[in-house]
Structure 1
Amino acid sequence: MPSHKKVEEESGCGRACFRGFYSCYWRHPGDRKRKHEGCWLSFVFLACLLTVCWMYICLVTFNDREDINWKGFAWLKQWVNWFMVVIIISTVLTFYCTLLLVFALFQIALKEPLDLHWLHKVVLFFGVVFIILAVIGITCMWSKEWPTVLLSLQATGPFLQMGAVVALTLLSWFVIQSVHTARRVGSKILMLLVFAIIVTAVYLSPLLIQHHTPCLIPPDQIPPKPELIGHRGAPMLAPENTMMSFVRSVACNVTAFETDVQISGDGVPFLMHDHHKGFLLRTTDTKHRFAGRDFNKSSELTWAELQHLNAGDWFLKADPFYTVSQLSAEEKEMARNQTIPSLLQLLHLAQENNISILFDLKNEEEVNDTNVTVDTILNSGIDPRLILWLPPTQRSNVMKNAPEFKQVYNNIFDMDKEGGSSLNLKYNSLNTTKLRELGQRNITVNLWVVNESWLFSLLWCTGVSSVTTNSCHRFQKMKQPDWTLEPTQYIMIWITVDLLSLLIISGLVIYKVQKKKKNKLTGSNQLELLPFLTNQ
């Protein structure tokens, strides 16, 4: 009877499910020899940790997804949302590894064998290889993205620390169980030491976090909301660098338009970001309009030829930001009929709405491009104080010919050298400490391209002047950063969470020790009764 009961316990539905998923043994394997259980469990834990960290990297670099997709287009001449493909693969892999670890922990709790199936081993191996190759790829080809991860830690640090405390508290029971079942004293000491070091580091990490998190700030000290600059207009709501896009950004209350200027073969400045080989392929219908012709620079076409190109239909087909479904039928029709605008058209729109213009000259090494652009601006009738001049190559001549243009620099050295007071930088090129120092010097700092609310909130707390964004329609609605917390409140939360965790872990340790003593005592009593039972 007792043996029958034991078999039922070992073959219960719950046990069978956990065992079946992890080991593919739906029946208890009995005394089957199992090799390297501990090593494979460690590998599962490592794979889970790597996938979670990689998923975090994917989510925080989502702000720059357009860069990855644009590079993919430059190679293949075909628009595919490659970043979303990576996100989907990473999500599936993370869910798989996390689920596998959870089942392994339940196996430990149920005192079931940890015999990882070979198929899981293969998937884990390829998953780890995928992540390693992805990290190498970022390091070699997109290394400027790593500072974004560091910035994200400043925005999420307090929450990551509390999440880590909760995770360690939940894992503590499995660690205690593993220490209890370990046979060697050295193994027990090593496991306890490693766990104690990790717990201590996590408990004390707020000492570092509270000095590097800008949003740990009293409500009355929150800086003014950064002004919004429309990146090529409002490219989530309309095709980039079209008049529809800039008009939509006006509704977002942007203070400036950001765009890109090139010069046609007959000397007309027009708006287009892509340049050099195949520069018209991504955002126009040049393949159909000029079949068999391959344009590599703007001077190869006249303004009349450029006006014949459709610059909006691609937006509806590619749906680069997955926002087309939010447009009405009238808006879709308007987007479908957009053409390439001239700089003069944008200057008139800016003058009507008292909005500044910030732009790059895509072929600024050509002296004539600078002269034609400056002449077009001065002859347009726009208030020259609305022009934010960024191209550095011919800056000295521009300052002489158009002294009322506001000079904007892309590095601190040139700005200080020429006595300027305005910067336009990539959002992750400076740390938050340096940004605050610039603010204290009354330097106007614009950061590009900021699309995610967590990043906008972090820069808001830091005190930047403005951001160039694709998400002006979302940021316009924000009345305050995503979160702020007074430093004293954070300290109280930190201490409370750590103390609760410490009490729970200590309680589990005491419970395990008491249970072990009780089992020893019970075993000793049974040994004392054994002679009596034998005589009976």
Structure 2
Amino acid sequence: MITMFRTCLRGIYSCHWNQRSNEQKSDRCWLSFLSFVSILALSWMYICFIAFNDHYDVNNELFKAVKKWVNWYMIVMIISAVLAIYCLLLLVFGLLHLAIKEPLNLHCLHKVFLFLGLLAVTLETAGFCFKWEKQWKAIYMSFQATAPFLQLSAVVALTVISCLVFQSYHRAKTTACKIFIMMTFLVVSAAVFLCPLAICSPCITSNLPPKPALIGHRGAPMLAPENTLMSFRKSLECGVVAFETDVQLSKDKKPFLMHDCGKNFLLRTTDVKDKFPGRDGSNNFTLQELKTLNAGKWFSRSDPFWTLSSLSEEERREADNQTVPSLSELLVLVKKYNVSLIFDLKNENNSTVFQSSDSFYTTETINKLGISPDKIWWLPPEYRHDVMKMEPGFKQVYNKQKEMLMDGGNFMNMNFSSLSAREISELRKSNVSVNLWVVNERWLFSLLWCSGVSSVTTNACHLFKDMSKPDWHLEPNMYKGIWIATDIVSLLLMIGLFLWQRRRKSYIYPPNTSEKGIPLLAL
């Protein structure tokens, strides 16, 4: 059985199935290279996992470039996961080779794959830095949530690896080499054991703030086509306090709901290419023409969030029959269910320059339906002061703190990575409501909950509605107890492993003999 295990291990790692080959001087360098690529692949996988919160934005940007909807981000995730698993399994085989004293003859095919993996991770990281630089703030934020648990995982990994470290220590032939191995290991161990002293996480607290309110980003786009009435009705099932949407003006100056703007603003979410070939731009369509477009079949066809399987057949049929809603239709839901409405104003040129008529027609539509002014959260900064004069009851929402302070406002709406936990705490102490967008992952929602935000805009309200506490929350005393207990157990295991290996070496190689069993006096 042991012989078969060695043969399989040797065959997978080096393809020498029938015979044991001689180890070359460079083979241990290849193990170091394998370790390096494994760490990079695992780190990249972590980055992909954290950045998954905004994966829809990546797919949307690529759609603008290639005019075809594909879940590109999921493809990258799958490739990254395969690479990480491959490298880690190969590393485990390499360490087992080291432990049972098998030659480290890494096969040339593995070497080629490792170089390709290193190239892929390098290119992906470069693209991440160049095109998606803001996500590094999200990576930093993630450590506030995951650092306590990563530290515990690092302690476990260090304990397992210590067996190989002690083996290398006992095999070392010179005192200098032994000192170097042990000092390096002690420094790394001290850093891992004591790093909780530097961890600052808002989720390690005994004073947990109230759960943030939920705002449906274009409704509930994971459960229904975005910016459709079905989507907003689905978000009501999650208990949202407000709808978030995007408003544009048609050719006949009627406000309607649509996020995309510019030349191809209907291409992604409607069948405009079939109904009106060759026409583009909101200024070319009346509201009646827009109402003839199907705004739901694209959802069933592309399944943008991979959530279609969670819908019943009846819900799928309903999604397939959605149309482009007018603002008036949404306001009926706002009034009926007593929720608030926050929206962006979009224009033909996809710019931030609006005509005063945009604000006027939108405000006029709101007033006609008799919506309570305090239910309208006015977000567009253009002509804000004109709107404040027309409708002083609207709740003004700001994305710049300086502008908010000048106007005497008390409502901030910003990207989730724009404010630190300390800044959020200071704003809340000043009675400023803080809404952050777009929050789609439980770890991020948990972190922002611990930080004390008032509300979050989300695509995934169904994931958060039943959460009774943050996923990452720990009482300070409990975390301290887990940390100290884990470090002590790890330290005791390491001491035991060290003594066991020293005793085993003395038993196998009695005093006054070399590792080959030859008496030292004979040498």
User: Which of the five TM-score ranges fits, normalised by the shorter chain?
Assistant: over 0.9
Matched, 1:374 2:363: yes
Among 222, 233, 247, the residue aligned to 1:247: 233
Among 97, 107, 124, the residue aligned to 2:114: 124
Does structure 1 retain, via aligned residues, the 8 Å contact 2:250–2:287?
Answer: yes
Correspondence list, 1:5-404, <5 A: 12-30=3-21, 32=22, 34-183=24-173, 185-209=175-199, 212-218=200-206, 221-291=207-277, 293-295=278-280, 297-363=281-347, 365-367=353-355, 368-404=357-393
In the alignment, what sits opposite 1:4?
Answer: none
In the alignment, what sits opposite 1:475?
Answer: 464
Take 2:70 and 2:173, find their aligned partners in 1: how far apart are those partners? 55
Take 1:192 and 1:527, find their aligned partners in 2: how far apart are those partners? 27
Take 2:122 and 2:519, find their aligned partners in 1: how far apart are those partners? 59
Matched, 1:449 2:438: yes
The residue matched to 1:270 in structure 2 has which SS?
strand
Range moving further from structure 2, 363-372 or 486-495: 363-372
Shift of 1:331: 1.1
Does structure 2 retain, via aligned residues, the 8 Å contact 1:278–1:294?
Answer: no
Take 2:301 and 2:513, find their aligned partners in 1: how far apart are those partners? 78
In the alignment, what sits opposite 1:406?
Answer: 395
Shift of 1:182: 4.0
Matched residue pairs, number? Answer: 515
Opposite residue 321 of structure 2, the aligned amino acid is: N
The residue matched to 1:143 in structure 2 has which SS?
coil
* Shift in CA distance, 310/126, structure 1 to aligned 2, threshold 3 Å: same
Does structure 1 retain, via aligned residues, the 8 Å contact 2:447–2:472?
Answer: no
Deviations 1:267-304 (A, max 9, x none): 0010000111211110000111112x141x31121112
Shift of 1:522: 5.2
Range moving further from structure 2, 188-197 or 451-460: 188-197
* Shift in CA distance, 530/406, structure 1 to aligned 2, threshold 3 Å: closer
Does structure 1 retain, via aligned residues, the 8 Å contact 2:170–2:502?
Answer: no
In the alignment, what sits opposite 1:5?
Answer: none
The residue matched to 2:263 in structure 1 has which SS?
coil
Q: TM-score, normalised by structure 1?
A: 0.93
Take 1:529 and 1:391, find their aligned partners in 2: how far apart are those partners? 85
Take 2:267 and 2:54, find their aligned partners in 1: how far apart are those partners? 21
Shift of 1:187: 4.2
Identity of aligned residues (%): 51
Deviations 1:464-506 (A, max 9, x none): 1000011112211112212422111111111111111111112
Take 1:190 and 1:286, find their aligned partners in 2: how far apart are those partners? 69
C-alpha RMSD of matched pairs (Å): 1.9
Give unmatched runs, 5+ long, in structure 2. Answer: none
Shift of 1:515: 3.3
Does structure 1 retain, via aligned residues, the 8 Å contact 2:10–2:16?
Answer: yes
Take 1:410 and 1:325, find their aligned partners in 2: how far apart are those partners? 37
Opposite residue 293 of structure 2, the aligned amino acid is: L
Give unmatched runs, 5+ long, in structure 1. Answer: 1-7, 532-536
In the alignment, what sits opposite 2:453?
Answer: 464
